[in-house]
Structure 1
Amino acid sequence: MRFLLYNIRYAAGIGRHFHLPVPYSGYFKHTNGNLKKIVNFIKLVNPDITGLIEVDSGSFRSEKNNQAEAVAWELQHDHVYKSKSSASSMARKVPLLNKQGNAILTNQEIVSQKFHYFREGVKRLVIELELADLSVFLVHLSLKFRHRQYQLQDLYTMTNSVKKPVIVAGDFNAFKGDRELELFLAATGLKNANSNGQPSHPSRAPRRQLDYIFHSPQIQITDFQIPQIKLSDHTPLVCEFEIGSKKSPDPDPAGRRKNKTRFS
Structure 2
Amino acid sequence: MKFMLYNICYATHGNQKKLPLLGLLGRTHGHLDELIGFIGDIDPDVIGLIEVDGGSYRAGRKSQVEMIAEKLGHFHSYRSKYGSDSRWQRIPIYNKQGNAFLAKDTIHSEKFHYFERGMKKLVLELELEKVTFFLVHLALSYKARQAQILHLYHMIKETDRPYIVAGDFNAFAGEDEIQLLMSASGLRNADPTLQPSYPSKKPRKQLDFILHSPKIKINRFEMPQVQLSDHLPLVVDFDILEPVAS
Is residue 53 of structure 1 aligned with residue 50 of structure 2? yes
1:7 maps to which residue?
A: 7
1:61-112 Cα distance to aligned partner (Å, 9 max, x none): 1001111111111110000000001110000000100110000000122111
1:59 to partner: Cα distance: 0.5
How many pairs align?
A: 243
1:26 to partner: Cα distance: 4.3
State the distance in 2 between where 1:90 and 1:16 align: 26
Aligned 1:26-105 pairs, distance under 5 A: 26-105=23-102
1:231-250 Cα distance to aligned partner (Å, 9 max, x none): 1100000100000159xxxx
State the distance in 1 between where 2:168 and 2:42 align: 20
Aligned partners of 1:18 and 1:27 also within 8 Å: no
Aligned partners of 1:18 and 1:24 also within 8 Å: no
State the distance in 2 between where 1:16 and 1:187 align: 38
Pick one of 124, 131, 135 that aligns with 2:132: 135
1:27 to partner: Cα distance: 2.7
Aligned partners of 1:190 and 1:216 also within 8 Å: yes
Identity of aligned residues (%): 48
State the distance in 2 between where 1:50 and 1:17 align: 25
State the distance in 1 between where 2:223 and 2:2 align: 13
Q: Which runs of 5+ in 1 are unaligned?
A: 247-264
1:184 maps to which residue?
A: 181
1:16 to partner: Cα distance: 6.5
Aligned partners of 2:125 and 2:135 also within 8 Å: yes
Aligned partners of 2:15 and 2:23 also within 8 Å: no
Aligned 1:1-264 pairs, distance under 5 A: 1-14=1-14, 17-19=17-19, 23-244=20-241
Aligned residue for 2:197, secondary structure, equals coil
Structure 1 moving runs of 4+ over 6 Å:
none
Taking a change above 3 Å as real, the CA distance of residues 3 and 92 of structure 1, as seen in their structure-2 partners, is: same
| Superposition TM-score, scaled by structure 1 size | 0.89
Aligned partners of 1:14 and 1:230 also within 8 Å: no
Letter in 1 for 2:88: A
Aligned partners of 1:193 and 1:215 also within 8 Å: yes
1:32 to partner: Cα distance: 4.2
Aligned partners of 1:58 and 1:66 also within 8 Å: yes
| Superposition TM-score, scaled by structure 2 size | 0.96
1:1-42 Cα distance to aligned partner (Å, 9 max, x none): 0000000000011577530xxx51343222041111000000
Aligned partners of 2:106 and 2:128 also within 8 Å: yes
Q: Which runs of 5+ in 2 are unaligned?
A: none
State the distance in 2 between where 1:179 and 1:38 align: 31
Aligned partners of 2:15 and 2:26 also within 8 Å: no
Aligned partners of 2:55 and 2:63 also within 8 Å: yes
Cα RMSD (Å): 1.3
Aligned residue for 2:108, secondary structure, equals strand
